[in-house]
Structure 1
Amino acid sequence: MTWLRALKETARSGLTVERKRLEPLVALRGAAGLAIIIGVSLTLFGPAVAASSAFGAFQAAIATFQRSWRPRPELALASGTSLAVSTFLGYLTGSHLLLFLALLCLWTFLAGLSWAAGPTVGIIASSNVAIMLVTVTLPTSVAAAAGHAAMMIVGGCVQAALVILFPVRRWGAHRDALADALAAEADYARRLRHDPVASFDPEPLMAARDAAKITPRQARSRPAELHGARGLAERIRPVLASLADPAVGVPPEGRERDRVREILGAAGAVLDAAARAIRNGEPVKIPPAAVATLRTPDTGAILTGPAYRAATRLGALLRDVLETAGTQSTPTAPDPGPATQSDTQAIPLLRPTLPALIPGALRAMRAELRHESPVTRHAIRVTAVAAAGYLLGHWLPLGHGYWAPMASVMVMRPDFSQTYSRAVARFGGTLVGVALATGLVQLADPGTGLSGALAVLCAGMMYLLMRTGQVAAQACVAAYVVFLLGMGGQQWTQTVPERVFLTLLGGVLAMIAYAVYPAWETPRLRTRLADWLVADGRYAAAVVDHYAHPAGKSCPDVREALLTARDARIAWQEAVARAKNEPVRHRGLSRAAAADAEDALAQLGRVAMLMEAHLPDRDATPVPAASRLADALRTSTEQGAKAVRERRVPRWDAVRTALTEWNGDGVPDRVVRKGATLLLTTLEELSDALSTTPPPMLVDGSATQKPRQNPKEPRNQEGPAAH
């Protein structure tokens, strides 16, 4: 993508206003906390302290809006406290330019590096640095600075207290995450009726798992319906796929296929009902037609073999889902077998408390301290820009020089697209917000009290529109700051013109910095693809190995390998999304080749999932050849990953040899035999996809160039599609 097109795409993204579900009660609660702290501060201490405390309460409320499963009061307290510490230390060094600049560089570098601990920590840390640049100008003495810092902590405490006293849809985000996972599987079941190899994005399941991680305090109040349904949803997905897939299930057409379509439709209805019940906290209402379909005795007379086992297993899992969701009517498939108590027993996923999180965050930051790391490059970049912006603002005869570094810190992110889109949104929103606020100030000439009220109104609008787009939020923030500083006695003529120019300067500095010292994702796509190949290979090997060493349905090693493979897949998809708008060449992996390779690896994971759905019981007859195939899969995928990184086409001779020996053992189970064959097929498809990437790559030291396959021709008539 050219620079001109990249700039156009990022500008369009930054100026886009999206239609999102608004949360007016949550916005009202945040605005109420801000109004309380401003009113108390104005009454007891005056406008200057009120402005500082307002920034603390404002930032604490923003922290509670971040996409985090951690308790909101903890986020508010952490935000208010960290801003107070930053402000106090900043004031102590503020009178000495070089000393303050050193503190600013240190604080900004740590804030940039904090993105290694996650986006929520990164956003809070970056916002604290930006707001600190304003708040250090408000105190007039060390004692006053301590008082301002204390009121910022009070602002965070007020927001935390309001979250506790006036909860809005308690556990709502966790309910939505679990309900979304069940709804995604319901949609998957319906799509499998018409497309037996339909794709499935595991992101909802990963989000539900992340939401299931709770702190010890949350564990004491978590609703019962949020305990075990997530684990059941994880188990349902491979059963649905194995029931529908012609390779291991029933023929594409005929009486058996019709029965499978009926079961899948009923499963979708049951899962949708459970999702609605969990989302709204109400009893499950199951459609009678779905109950009748699942209870009919015809299934045992129509389905046989793996298909019947999958249908029976699905009925038992659906029963457990409904029991977990809190229903009294439980549909089951015929002959559901013994109760699956192991499915309903949710293993606790504990999230560390906020103090316990610090060592882990420090380890993550230390692990990123290498020059090639995107997080470290972001930390260096934002530090240099903040220092340069502060010096330029200090030397320019405009006053309020902190606006330039504040704008830079607020817009800069570790990736190209977000940095450029936010820079455009920041300047566009600033123009709109400043223009409206300035016009109102000129017309109404509000006093201290009215300025405070208008600041609260702007903050409430920002909380309400935060998720609709950056430009709307930035417009509200710009107006909020104008009114808040006006409340402190600074006239609009002292802030607005300078702020517009310096905001533009800060945005330009941020954009130039990324162009000069980038952290492009495009050159790392092959590394991401190789990591995914290794993870998928280990997952497939873990599944296959259990056919040589039967251990029943409970296989922790398979589960761990599956989660690792999902993480690698998401990392690849995020990298592709970031690289999409980067103005750089593909560096040896074109978009077409990347798409084909992604499809092949997704198929590899899906085949392993189908085999996992039919893992043998503990008393099953071992298949010795499976152990050799598992070893070949591990070794070959690791060697193949090395070839991918080195721009070579991977070879799968070891897997082919092991598969020949497997077939020679005469394995009777069609699932095992077909699944093992499809594993090799998907690996060969990966090699075909990578062989289309110019220039010609080396295989065993010789140059090759395979012709690109016609995209209209199916690559594998029998194999499953991307999962």
Structure 2
Amino acid sequence: MWTHYRRAVLHAARHGFKLGRPLQNPEALLRVAVAVVVATVVSYFLNNPMVTIGAWFTGMGSLVPRRRNRVVISAVSTLLLCVAGPLVGVHLHDIPWLLYVLAFLGTFVGGMLLTLGIGPGMRVIIMMIMMVAFADISPDISTGLSEVKWLAVGGGIGFVCHLIPPYGPRFAGQRDAVAALYDALAADARAYADGGAPGQPWPQPTLTARQALTVLPQRCRAAAAPLFALVGEAERIVRYLRALEAPTGLDPDTRKARCAAVADVLSEIASAVRTGRTVAATTDERARRQLEPRPGEPPARTLRGLVESLTEAERIASLSDSGDAGASWQHTELAKQHAQSGFLARGLRQLRAELGWESPAFRHALRLAVAATLAEAVGRASGDWGGIGVAHHAVWAFLTAAVVLVPTFEHTIGRGISRSAGAIVGGFLGWALTMLPHDKLLHSVIVVLLIFGYLAFRSMGQPPTIICITAVVAYIGGEGASAWSRTVDTLIGAAIAMIVYMLWPTWHSKRLPRLLGNWTRIEGRYLGALAAAWADPAGADRAALDRMGHEARVARRHFQEAAANATSEPVHHRARWSGPELEELSRSTRELAKGSALLAAHAPGPRQPGVPSVARYAESLQEELSELAEAAETGRMPAPGLTAELHDLLSVELADTTPSGMCEREVFAHVTHAVEDLASAISDQRVTGRHRAVGVG
């Protein structure tokens, strides 16, 4: 057992020290930098560092990922971090029991809000940090209110600086999410061109774009209708790309040129969405020539559908105003089920669904509240370390526990170790800087440079970020005791966060059977409905199919996330599936999802003739996937020959498929073999090369 824990901890530590790219989002960083410089000049003349800290913290809040207008987010950050949190904290200095209660409740709410997105949750958690900080450092209400006043001045400077242009196109956050979706599609097309498999964690890009759009208020959605439409069009493009992925006897050069042309168009669309400009016509024409089907080529229908979807996506991406598309088109797109409710209604519904002991989000929020409150209590109880530290320093333990503890083992342990290392280096750096001659101008310059270091390196990871933060705090404190207290409190907070997680973990390895069973059952209903639409195109409920497809994507994302997290856990070897078995299971789920994409891409339209013989296949498909879902959840192995009926129906019911309709039999053959693969993976009775590559026309 200890060997597995040691290996998992080492892996998490390596992950924690992994560095990213610096200076991400430079325009936003520049605005914060300007605010810090202006605030530092004001602080210089007032001889009060709170103005600089206020501008810095407002900038920190605005740099957290967002989906709303940057001015609105900056205003919210200023009010929460520089006014509301500190004001409450000032009045709690002499009421520790109430501080603990509010800190517990606040971090719990922040942890729950993380289910809606990083932005809302982290801003509430940072607000709690500011509340605890002022409760710790305010000697009395009068002095505390004075400090809050200057902190708010700095926050106001930060807010004003966020009005600095450029402003970019409207709905910038939503545009970035939709553009990222099309970038992901382009990456898939390039992977197909090279004969590889997609590297994207589908369906995450689609769901992220949908989530970004649902944040928009109802009054803004008509203007954002093109973005809703682009996501809908992307879902259709995904289906055609999956269809093109299957080998069709096409020569490799033609296949590569065709996929490369598609990738170019998708990249152009992504760029147009992000910047608000039109799609280049030259790329469009080149793609049309490449995608023109050859006489007698099997994937002719797929190619025609792909060209239509790409053309429509280009048209929508080039719209300067949603009114250019017509009111009926707007209504059609905005009436989709996952675009109806506003952010508040959807958020409350989502939070209500997570309020249960079995919910990982609920357990994480509760665990976070326990760890952060315990860290504050330990920090307060330690006093001034017998005179070698500073008093009223517990906030650093609270802060560390609140930001280190996350829902996964790998990230919690990695953050704890890397943040501790950064605090040690930063403490020594801050202590060394206090040895410099005391000069007010030099002091201001060094503080600005350290904050600039934080801004530049914050996207690289925990160590460089914490080095800069710890050095700033230690240097502003002006003595070695400040560096000592900040460093030791960070170590205490990180240790508490890691211990709480180890004592009360969320092992994603144990969640896999339930999540796989849930996805398999939902995917079975979706596949059955799609197959039924083949049998009776006129009677198919297209809106219901869209809703079922969305539910299947959400369920698959939950399984994928748990599977990715499970591989780094110290207990994954005791899970039902681990290592190669889990890789095979993930591959099988992708193939079955690809099967649903193929069925959707090639389904006959409402006015086209159906394939009545598919009706029995649809019923059998849903029944067998329901059995597989139960097998995944309970551990009872699927009955031998589970997919035999599907093979019989495939060979008997579709045996008379005409040569012009060979596509039908090939598509259903892919689904049949994907179900067979999934059954083998669930029972771990894998046969190498079982899945058959089929042509799709």
User: Conserved in 2, the CA contact under 8 Å of 1:213 and 1:350?
Assistant: no
User: Which deviations, in whole Å up to 9, do the C-alpha atoms of 1:10-31 show, x marking residues without a partner?
Assistant: 2222222223563433212113
Task: Tell whether the 8 Å contact from 1:414 to 1:519 is kept in structure 2 after alignment.
Answer: yes
Any residues of structure 2 matched to 1:9-24 within 5 Å, and which? 9-20=11-22, 22-24=24-26
Cα distance in 1, alignment partners of residues 330 and 193 from structure 2:
26
Cα displacement string for residues 537-572 of structure 1 (whole angstroms, at most 9, x for unaligned residues): 232122112112314999222222222222222222
Q: Deviations over 1:236-278 (max 9, x none)?
A: 23223334534xxx4x156xx8766554443333333444444
User: Cα offset for 1:360?
Assistant: 4.7
Q: What SS does the corresponding residue of 1:442 show, helix, strand or coil?
A: coil
Structure 1 residue matching 2:607: 3-state secondary structure:
coil
Distance 1:445 1:720 in 2: 76
Task: Select the residue among 586, 602, 608 that pairs with 1:620.
Answer: 608
Q: 1:78 maps to what in 2?
A: 76
1:18 and 1:206 map into 2 onto residues whose CA distance is 24
Residue 670 of structure 1 pairs with residue 662 of structure 2? yes
C-alpha distance in 2 between matches for 1:460 and 1:138:
25
CA contact (8 A) 1:273 1:286 kept: no
Match of 2:517 in 1: 530
Give the conservation status (yes or no) of the 8 Å contact 1:127–1:410: no
Query: Which amino acid in structure 2 is aligned with residue 466 of structure 1?
Result: R
> Residues 446, 518 of structure 1: CA spacing in aligned structure 2 closer, same or farther, 3 A cutoff?
farther
Listed as ranges, the matches of 1:282-681 within 5 Å are 282-287=277-282, 291=285, 294-295=288-289, 299=292, 302-303=295-296, 307-326=299-318, 347=334, 357=343, 360-396=346-382, 397-398=384-385, 399-402=391-394, 403-447=396-440, 450-483=442-475, 486=476, 490-551=477-538, 555-584=542-571, 585-651=573-639, 656-657=644-645, 660-661=648-649, 663-664=652-653, 666-668=656-658, 669-681=661-673
Change (3 A) 1:718 1:359: closer
Contact 2:372 2:402 survives alignment (8 Å): yes
Work out whether residues 422 and 466 of structure 2, in 8 Å CA contact, stay in contact via their aligned partners in 1: yes
Letter in 2 for 1:235: R
Residues 1:528 and 1:167: Cα distance change in structure 2 (over 3 Å): farther
Task: Using the TM superposition, give the Cα deviation of residue 313 of structure 1 relative to its aligned residue in structure 2, in angstroms.
Answer: 2.4
Q: Distance in 1 between matches of 2:483 and 2:625?
A: 59
CA distance in 1, matches of 2:166, 2:539: 44
Cα distance in 2 for partners of 1:719, 1:137 equals: 67
Structure 2 gap segments, 5+ residues each: 321-325, 386-390
Report SS of the residue matched to 1:531: helix
Label 1:671 to 1:156 Cα distance change in 2 as closer, same or farther (>3 A): farther
Distance 1:308 1:316 in 2: 12
SS in 2 for 1:543: helix
Offset of residue 81 of structure 1: 2.5
The amino acid across from 1:482 in the alignment is A
CA contact (8 A) 2:85 2:130 kept: no
Of residues 678, 685, 694 in structure 2, which corresponds to 1:686?
Answer: 678
Cα distance, 1:105–1:211 mapped onto 2, change above 3 Å: closer
Match of 1:696 in 2: none
Q: 1:606 deviation in Å?
A: 0.7
**Structure 1 range deviating more: 263-272 or 460-469:** 263-272
Letter in 1 for 2:372: A
Whether the aligned pair in 2 keeps the contact of 1:231 and 1:344 (CA below 8 Å) is no
Equivalent AA in structure 2 for residue 63 of structure 1: G
Contact 2:409 2:569 in 1 (8 A): yes
Offset of residue 603 of structure 1 = 0.8
The Cα RMSD (Å) is 3.8
Cα offset, 1:528, TM superposition: 2.0
1:574 to partner: Cα distance: 1.7
CA shift digits 1:215-238 (9 cap, x unpaired):
249948979985744433332232
The answer (yes or no) to whether the contact 2:451–2:472 under 8 Å persists in 1 is: yes
Q: TM-score, normalised by structure 2?
A: 0.85
User: Which position in structure 1 is the counterpart of 2:388?
Assistant: none
Residue of structure 2 equivalent to 1:698: none
1:217 and 1:145 map into 2 onto residues whose CA distance is 41
- Give the equivalent residue in structure 2 for 1:332: none
Aligned to 1:233: 234
Residues 561 and 456 (structure 1 numbering): CA distance in 2 closer, same or farther, change over 3 Å? Answer: farther
Which whole-Å deviations, capped at 9, do the CAs of 1:140-195 have from their partners, x for residues lacking one? Answer: 54355455556555555543443333346556655544444334333433443453
In 1: Cα distance, 2:345 partner to 2:306 partner? 42
Q: Provide closer, same or farther for how the CA distance between residues 628 and 57 of structure 1 changes in structure 2, counting only shifts above 3 A.
A: farther
Letter in 2 for 1:429: G
> How far, CA to CA, are the matches of 1:166 and 1:140 in structure 2?
41
What is the CA–CA distance in structure 2 between the aligned matches of 1:277 and 1:230, rounded to whole Å?
A: 14
| Residues 400 and 499 in structure 1, CA contact (< 8 A), matched pair in contact too | no
Q: Decide whether the 8 Å contact of 1:87 with 1:135 is kept in 2.
A: yes
Query: 2:323 maps to what in 1?
Result: none
Contact 1:238–1:609 under 8 Å retained in 2? yes
CA positional deviation for 1:199: 7.3
Letter of the structure 2 residue corresponding to residue 385 of structure 1: A
2:184 matched residue in structure 1: 184
Q: Report how far residue 604 of structure 1 moved.
A: 0.9
Aligned-partner residue type, residue 410 of structure 1:
V
SS for the counterpart of 2:458 is helix
Q: 1:80 touches 1:152 (CA, 8 Å); kept in 2?
A: no
Change (3 A) 1:55 1:637: farther
Distance 2:219 2:56 in 1: 25
1:80 corresponds to which letter in structure 2?
Answer: T
The residue that corresponds to 1:331 in the other structure is none
Query: 1:657, 1:683 → 2: CA distance?
Result: 12
In the alignment, which residue of structure 2 is the partner of 1:124?
A: 123
Task: Using the TM superposition, name which of 678-687 and 668-677 deviates more.
Answer: 668-677
Residues in 1 aligned to 2:121 and 2:11: alpha-carbon distance in whole angstroms: 25
CA displacement at 1:214 relative to structure 2: 5.6
In the alignment, structure 1 segments of 5+ residues that lack a partner are 329-338, 693-705
Q: Which amino acid counterpart does residue 240 of structure 1 have in structure 2?
A: L
CA contact (8 A) 1:608 1:675 kept: no
Alignment match, 1:703: none
> Residue 30 of structure 1 corresponds to which residue in structure 2?
32
Distance, in Å, in 1 between the alignment partners of 2:31 and 2:218 is 23
- Residues in 2 aligned to 1:117 and 1:175: alpha-carbon distance in whole angstroms: 19
Amino acid at match of 2:434: V
- Aligned partner of 1:60 in structure 2 is 58
Percent identity (aligned): 25
Contact 1:269 1:286 survives alignment (8 Å): no
In the alignment, is the contact (CA less than 8 A) between 1:426 and 1:470 conserved in 2?
yes
